[in-house]
Amino acid sequence: MRLGVPREIKTHEYRVGLTPGSVRELAHRGHRVVVETGAGDGIGCSDAAYLAAGAEIAGTGAEVFAAADLVVKVKEPQPSEFPLLRDGQILFTYLHLAPDPAQTRALVESGISAIAYETVTDAAGRLPLLAPMSEVAGRMSIQVGAHCLEKEQGGAGVLLGGVPGVAPAKVVVLGGGVVGSNATRMAVGLGARVVVLDRSLARLAHIDELLLNTVETAYATMDNIEHHVLEADLLVGAVLVPGAAAPKLVSRQMVAAMRKGSVLVDVAIDQGGCFETSRPTTHAAPTFVAEGMVHYCVTNMPGAVARTSAFALNNATLPFVLALADKGLAGALSEDPHFRAGLNVHRGHVTHAAVARDLGYAFTAPESALSD
């Protein structure tokens, strides 16, 4: 199969779809890999490293898209890339379609088969291709939140861990999944007072056991959410409904009632955000102030630590890329129902139920779309 790896063009996105090590695995199996020049520069991987791994180097993204049967990216195609998509091509990347009707329409109209990293599942119902970046984003949420609490950044001037005689900051984490548990570990490590809310008692119990009673856990009722949000110095939104728009758990009125200078980090912003005051931002302009609170809502948080993120992502995605390259789309997806769950769009059909529901498309089961 012919695989293409374009350079990422989203603002301050430095990750790359395939590392040289992944390219070498593909080339060893007889596949052709075309990489756009400079695609790996952001993670310290030169064109020479890709050539040594067996790749070909193309001068432009357009050349990569034109050459590839399978395009492997990190972030969703940007509007300038929409015209490069073509009927019968396979796209494998993060898509986050529910809050992005323009991208969904472009994918449907192109005739492409688009597989989303974030909706591929495993036998336990987990999201193995989202997990590595969720780990990074969860850990980063505390790092960036602590920075935003500094007075010069617009925050309240609070040190996350406090000092002897002065109380630490209160960190409230909405969601106890991969993002939330990693955020919690980081916040505890910095000495903050941490409260985690979730609707899964099993998750709360796991966090309690993992961190040996160093955090407070609470069931995520409306009453508990409001109570803890209003006391938060740093609020982390870490909720996820796979493939669907994130629920708005924190209203504008609740944000306005928080202590001025508090910080909100909305890791759920890729799926529309879980705070009513959230709107997408970029690494170039990561924050804004709404209702007196600093909001950090960068849609590609792990891009800031591109080298760590790219290698962690490739560890997870490479087996699936190899399956697509070796077996083709139908072969790879027909024999693996968990991989098939990643198919969001196939030749004009929306094949993920949550995306179809949220954006008003007719839903076609992936099995049916592939058989057609």
Could you give the dihedral angle defined by the CA atoms of residues 161, 164, 166 and 171, in that order, rounded to the nearest 10 degrees? 20
Amino acid at 102: A
- DSSP annotation of 363 reads B
What is the average pLDDT value for the chain, to the nearest integer? 97
In the residue annotation, 96 being an active-site residue is answered as: yes
> Do the Cβ atoms of 81 and 61 come closer than 8 Å?
yes
State mean pLDDT over 194-199: 98
CA dist list (Å): 370 to 12, 158, 254, 323: 36, 54, 46, 16
Q: Which of 96, 346, 349, 352 is catalytic?
A: 96
Percent of all residues in the chain with a pLDDT value above 90, rounded to a whole number = 97
Hey, which residues does 4 pair with through a beta bridge? 34, 71
pLDDT tens, residue by residue, 94-107: 999 999 999 999 99
- DSSP annotation of 257 reads T
Q: Report how far Cα 272 is from the mean position of its chain's Cα atoms.
A: 12
Distance between CA atoms of residues 277 and 291, nearest Å: 8
Q: Which of 192, 200, 269 is nearest to 231 (CA)?
A: 192
pLDDT tens, residue by residue, 215-258: 999 999 999 999 999 999 999 999 988 888 999 999 999 999 99
Percent of all residues in the chain with a pLDDT value above 70, rounded to a whole number = 100
Distance between CA atoms of residues 207 and 195, nearest Å: 11
Q: Which of 198, 270, 346, 352 is catalytic?
A: 270
**Is residue 213 over pLDDT 90?**
no
Distance between CA atoms of residues 183 and 35, nearest Å: 34
